[in-house]
Amino acid sequence: MNRATLVSEIFRKKTFLCVGLDTELAKIPAHLQGAADPIFEFNRAIIDATKDYCVAYKPNLAFYEALGPQGWQTLARTIEYIGNQHFIIADAKRGDIGNTSRMYAEAFFNQLGCDSVTVAPYMGEDSVKPFLGFEDKWAIVLALTSNQGSEDFQRDWLEDARQPLWEKVLQRTATWGTPENLMFVIGATHPEAFIRVREIVPDHFLLVPGVGAQGGDLAAICQHGMNRECGLLVNASRSILYASSGEDFAQKAGIEAERLQQAMEMLLKR
């Protein structure tokens, strides 16, 4: 999916919600546990209940890889079921030497049909560039993440550069691609950082985890992070997936997704 289509879908549907499919077998309702492919059945119900309220889905690869070959089949079925009307993010956090990254890119873009993949920039430009060579596909670079451990390295102050490490990562990696094929992960748990983020990358899309179960403030993110084309994909996973543990799980997921969509609609009008 190219940028123009993504932006068009955001304003057509009045939402910039991304639903994270971090589906854990132990957490899905008991009545699905006996199905031949219980995680797919759960995902299908979640997708049906939320598709009108979001523009993107983000399957987290770890939850599928942990299940072995069956997990990969479930992932492929899930992506196929989502279809091409939603932006699909493979949350894989890959990044390796050039030829290895090229194989990762081919796996997620050509084999699975994802629109984007999250990548770690620690190994430098040649580990990210292979993801940027596919038409209408995106690399989403980890810059400032929402987890507590982001304090360990990302916010370290670089005395020679007079800036924190995450800013240097953002500045450098922004030169590797364009706003048409490069996004950045900026965690919702750092709302104060969005002012500086937009000074460095005013036009790029940002994937924002940490809203929902992690407590990120949607209004604060939009105040400082939204640009003229929205420029945000705000992810919610657990708060939607596990809104209920009963047979009404899909209905409750839809209600939570609609609640977020309505809040986003109001923020888009500002």
Active site members: 93
CA distance 43 to 49: 10
Given a contact cutoff of 8 angstroms between Cβ atoms, the answer to whether 204 and 155 are in contact is: no
230 phi-psi bin (left φ>0, alpha ψ -120 to 50, beta other): left
Q: With the C-alpha atoms ordered 21, 64, 145, 118, is the resulting torsion angle positive or negative?
A: negative
Which token pair is 245? 């543990």
The number of beta carbons lying within 10 Å of the beta carbon of residue 262 is 13
Query: Which neighbouring-strand residues pair with 19?
Result: 57, 236
Q: With the C-alpha atoms ordered 231, 93, 217, 87, is the resulting torsion angle positive or negative?
A: positive
Classify strands 157-158 and 163-164 as parallel, antiparallel or unpaired: antiparallel
CA distance 2 to 28: 34
Q: 187-222 burial by CB neighbour count: b if 16+ within 10 A, else e? A: bbbbbebbebbbeebeebbbbbbbbbebebebeebb
CA distance 107 to 134: 12
